[in-house]
Amino acid sequence: MSTQPDDGRDRRILTVPNVLSVLRLAGVPLFLWLLLVAREDGWAIVVLAVGGVTDWLDGKLARLLGQYSRLGALLDPAVDRLYILSALIALGAREIIPWWAVVALVARDLVLAACLAVLRRRGYGPFVVTYLGKAATFLLLYAFPLLLLGQSTGWAAGIALPLGLAFGIWGIALYLYSGGLYFAQFVLALRKPVAPLP
């Protein structure tokens, strides 16, 4: 988890990666409406796919342009969590994914959110995002549109469904495993003495 003080660049708000994260955030309610109300699965797939691509792109651009920011460090994983949560609930409601997977992944995020609240009170920043955590998010964000496409008819569904299942199984496994790694960071932080307030 982050304990480093911010420099001036860390406090920037208007950066290209942050704009992409805000656009992804706007896609969350749109995706839910398309999938649950309008039943426009094709457009819902497009929104999910765009969310997955821009998730990869904002991290890449942050590195290429040197546009790291404190807001981006908070916003990017928060939008990832919202995308995953909304997709899980929507696909669970449509009976495309089993409810045990929904419960397991939501429970993982709730436990880590509670851990983060405790860490903040002890003066720590957010968890440092690991490559395994990013890989799990990537796999899930690609599994969801593939699983949705796999519910349609035609040759594309025959290809999408097994790919979606593979991405989903590996994504769930890595998501839970990375949650365990974050929880280990939490336990180690609790063993350190609390720094006195200035």
Does residue 107 or residue 9 have the better pLDDT? 107
CATH at 180: 1.20.120
Up-side HSE of residue 78: CA atoms within 13 Å toward CB?
13
Domain annotation covers residue 186? yes
Looking at residue 164, its pLDDT comes to: 94
Distances (CA, A) of 192 to 3, 112, 187: 13, 19, 9
Q: In terms of residue numbers, what domain contains 116?
A: 8-191
- pLDDT value at residue 183: 93
Helix or strand holding residue 172 (H, E): helix 155-191
More confident residue, 30 or 84: 30
Distances (CA, A) of 45 to 27, 33, 65, 149, 177: 11, 12, 29, 7, 27
Instruction: Report the mean per-residue pLDDT for the chain.
Output: 84
pLDDT classification of 55: cutoffs 50, 70, 90 = confident
Number of domains in the chain: 1
Query: Is residue 196 in a domain?
Result: no
1 C-beta neighbours (distance < 10 Å), count: 17
Percent of the chain with pLDDT over 90: 31
Q: Could you tell me the pTM of the whole model?
A: 0.74
60-88 confidence digits (pLDDT tens): 777 787 777 777 777 877 888 888 888 89
Residue 159 has pLDDT above 60, yes or no: yes
In a domain, 198, yes or no: no
Question: Is 136 part of a structural domain of the chain?
Answer: yes
